[in-house]
Structure 1
Amino acid sequence: MDVVLLLIMAAAGLSAVSSHAERQYHFVYEAKTMSEAQRYCREKHTDLATVDSMEVVKLLNDMAGQYNQSAWIGLHDDRDTWKWSMSDPSFYGPGETEFRQWATGQPGNRHNEHYTYFPSGGTGKWEDLYCHYPLWVVCFDVTGPSATFVLIKSKMTWTEAQSYCREHHTDLASVRNLAENQQLVELWSGGGYDAWIGLYRDSWKWSDGSNSSFKYWKVNKPNYRASKVCVAAAFNDSGKWEDLDCGVKKPFICYGPVPVSMQVIKVRVEKPNGVDLNDKAFLDEMLVEAKKNLRAQGLDDNVQLAWRKQPDGQVFQKEEEKKKRDEL
């Protein structure tokens, strides 16, 4: 007795696909500015490329081939993104997370000046600084909507200060309004040193919103110049990254989902005696054997096999029953 087996074969995409990330990368050689490249990638694919591992770096280097210049990827520096160490949204009223009391010319956005300190001179105006400078610290204790500031007269780096405040108080101080800023001014009535508060920025962002912290900078990059806030992979230097002016026109790399092709294969088999062809264990064993045969023919390991069920929920159907149904 003959039956008809429907086998579904879905093959993963092309060779230039990261095996772990389920993304296909597209190297576009037409030169565009960063914003033009982003628009193109979002229209034609998904977005500008996110590079989140050395495996993806190697894949892009292989794609570049003989191309030995640089191409845009999706990383950019959003220098207006300042946020508080204390992240609980219920602590802040409308507009309070955006309160800033910068001194004239601040923030300077120079190399690694990602952290904010409160000056000792009584002006109440904030400045940005490198995180490794040892300064005094302003912690605070939060009870409901109110906060009590605590000045720690011991010198720490910003990261040390954050750990200290979280261990001994609530967090590094957030300053939500002018009244709270004035409270800090009054803490310095006896003089002293500059002190860290909780405002900082981690401003490098991926175009698609990914939160990967993977970085692959060239030596002495980024240089944090005001106009150089977009990133390209330099294929004359192993695909390492450099920060450039966003208006420069360069080739670029997009990514999109791995395309899946599907093929239906009909297989006619003879029913063995005493075997339920629709038994799950038998069906699973048949798939294993089919996969082995396909692999022996050189088919990619990314191929997936599955059974297509008939309307009655069964995989197998007697050939004479199928012919009668088709004639109705």
Structure 2
Amino acid sequence: SLSSCVPRQFHVVKVNKNWTEAQRYCQQEFTDLATIDNMREMEMFNSIMNEADAIKPWIGLKQGSSPKWLWSLADRNFYREDEAEFRNWDSGQSQGANENLAQQQNCIVMGKGNEKWHNRQCGATKPFICYDVNHDTCITTGGNSTHPYVVVTNTNKKWADAQRYCRENHTNLASVRNETENEKIKKVLGDTQEAWIGLFRDAWEWSDGSKSSFRHWGIGEPNYGDSLKGFCVQMVSGQWNDAGCQHDLNFICYEDKLVLVRENKTWKEALQYCREHHVDLVSVTSERIQRWVRGRAKGASSTHVWLGLRRSCNMGFWFWVNGETVCYGNWAPGGKTEPDCQSARVGAVKSGRDGKGEWVMLPETEEHYFICTTEDQ
């Protein structure tokens, strides 16, 4: 959801550039070409685009060369550790069948009496399984047992059309996060021969390195027409279309709301400075925020950069200054040990252009640069 990310500001640039030129412009003037994570952001983008009267603008998605398996339900907060990587392939089914560009995307079904997963071409028409986060429509099995899964059998659809139906009428195509959910869906399927679930395979990549699996293709897209320099994504009438990256179009950039303060201060002084001049020390609650922090830290001349991360000796856990507990983490090997509580311990990120942005525990009395947020997280 938007609340889980550092707030971003989007900028419609009504200058025609090819995708590579647009990418370079956004990275120089802002943060990067726009990444879109969910339907809520799509609605916001449509509003921004319409107000600016942008003409079929580029966003930050470009076709790469390494297809990956992804879930249609893109919200990383929906998945606990390793749940987005849960797989239950049948023998020989994990690779995807055809590497031809137009057929590179494969989609997955579950079937009658078989909890294993099978590859199918996404253009085939089949029943499908939606997930409903609000449980507004549940399937009842065995009398009293209910599930947030809706099996749609009265109409067969291509995978992309099934995805569109689930988003419009429920939440999304069903994700399967563990063996328990896999077994529940198997039971809910009943006599259905085969039905789409939300796993798909494609090679599209975001300019900023985001692993977001959100896609919002128009009907029949991507169709991989003629292109001299690969395929990139533009927004057309609120949906996505693949186009040759060489075309000159308007584009949409985003700017993250992080500020590197180039002053050496103790952790408490940094916290006070951020709260007086901006909003707060940065809380790194997602992979996306970590990428932004890493990018900012590369510009620091201090050995480390303070984060809004603190260890509570009394309670025995780490927490962020925005009040969230630490779920996402990027600790350096050996970077986190149990403190002796004789002196306060806080978190910092390693700086330097070659660094991985890994976190370490330091005494709060050391002095380093720090990163503030300029809007509430």
Q: What TM-score does the superposition give when structure 1 sets the normalisation length?
A: 0.40
Structure with max Cα Rg = 1
TM-score normalized by structure 2?
0.35
Q: Which has the higher contact order (CA 8 A, sep 6+)?
A: 1
